[in-house]
Amino acid sequence: MHSEIKKVEFPNLSIITIPATQDNFMYLIVDKTSGEATVVDPVEPQRVLQVVNQEQVTLKSVLTTHHHWDHAGGNQKLVDLSVNENGNRLEVYGGDTRIEALTKPVAQGDIIQKPAVFTGDTLFIAGCGRFFEGTPPQMYDALITKLSSLPDDTLVFCGHEYTVSNLKFALSVEPDNQDVVNKLTWAENQRAGKKPTVPSTIAEEKRINPFMRVNLPSLQQRVGASDSINCMGTEEYCLTVPVRHFMSPVFLLNFILGGTI
Q: Transcribe 198-232 into DSSP letters.
A: --EEHHHHHHH-GGG-TT-HHHHHHHT-SSHHHHH
| Residue 181 sits in the same domain as residue 84 | no
Residue (of 71, 192, 196) closest to 125 by Cα position: 196
Which of 76, 106, 136 corresponds to the end of one domain? Answer: 106
CA dist 160 and 198 (Å) reads: 9
Residue-wise DSSP of 130-160: BSTT--HHHHHIIIIIIGGGS-TT-EEEESB
| Residue 28 sits in the same domain as residue 129 | no
The confidence band for 1, taking pLDDT boundaries of 50, 70 and 90, is confident
CA distances from 119 to 10, 95, 166 (A): 20, 13, 16
| Residue 177 sits in the same domain as residue 237 | yes
Residue 196 included in any domain = yes
Residue 200 included in any domain = yes
Percentages (nearest 5) of helix, strand, coil residues in the chain: 35, 25, 40
What CATH code is carried by the domain that includes residue 225? 3.60.15.10
What end-to-end distance do the CA atoms of the chain give, in Å? 32
| Residue 101 sits in the same domain as residue 147 | no
CA distances from 257 to 13, 15, 53, 226 (A): 12, 12, 24, 35
Number of domains in the chain: 2
| Residue 46 sits in the same domain as residue 91 | yes
Residue 37 included in any domain = yes
Q: Which domain holds residue 155?
A: 122-248
| Residue 139 sits in the same domain as residue 92 | no
The confidence band for 144, taking pLDDT boundaries of 50, 70 and 90, is very high
Burial of 120 (C-beta count, 10 Å sphere; 0-12/13-18/19+): buried
| Residue 56 sits in the same domain as residue 19 | yes
A 10 A CB-CB count for 4 gives 12
Omega before 175 within 30 of 0, i.e. cis: no
Which of 47, 76, 106 corresponds to the end of one domain? Answer: 106
Q: What average pLDDT score do residues 41-70 get?
A: 94
Q: What percent of the chain has pLDDT over 90?
A: 57
CA distances from 76 to 43, 107, 127 (A): 10, 21, 30
| Residue 32 sits in the same domain as residue 58 | yes
Residue 92 included in any domain = yes
pLDDT of 203 > 90? The answer is yes
Residue 256 included in any domain = no
Cα 142-12-18 angle, rounded to 5 deg = 60
Residue 254 included in any domain = no
Q: What average pLDDT score do residues 40-53 get?
A: 96
Task: Give this prediction's pTM.
Answer: 0.70
CA dist 179 and 13 (Å) reads: 29
| Residue 73 sits in the same domain as residue 151 | no
CA dist 158 and 142 (Å) reads: 14
Which of 53, 72, 106 corresponds to the end of one domain? Answer: 106
SS3 247: coil
| Residue 82 sits in the same domain as residue 135 | no
pLDDT tens digit string along 157-176? Answer: 998 999 999 999 999 999 99
Instruction: Check if the beta carbon of residue 66 is closer than 8 Å to that of residue 254.
Output: yes
Give the model's pLDDT for residue 261. Answer: 31
| Residue 131 sits in the same domain as residue 89 | no
